[in-house]
Structure 1
């Protein structure tokens, strides 16, 4: 943190402004996808408790290659 006038400003390395934005997008997508996964698991426990053996993820979210157009690929068995 540094001060500019009477305001504190976070210092961000601006090697590439897109990197900072990409990281924020990734963080938001991870949080969103984790909520979706938890909701799917909870609903499957309620709706069909003895029918679902596995809920898995694959694709870019599973490999960590997340980008702003990534979707969430789920495998439910």
Structure 2
């Protein structure tokens, strides 16, 4: 159990380091310079859609008459007459 907690903590630290290294997360000190508190500044991310012309392949089906294999099973019983 302790090992799992340590692994999760290590992964969180690695993610924070990676986000800081790539610029997704920046840390800065307060303006007075005397406090040791750090405030995270996270970059904005905009997600949306746009209209574009894209070539899309079309798929169609046609009906053809072909010979298909058949399987019949004869169990040797006489058919019942009704």
With normalisation by structure 2, the TM-score equals: 0.29
Larger RCO (CA within 8 A; separation ≥ 6): 1
Greater share of strand residues, 1 or 2? 1
| Higher Rg of the two aligned structures | 2
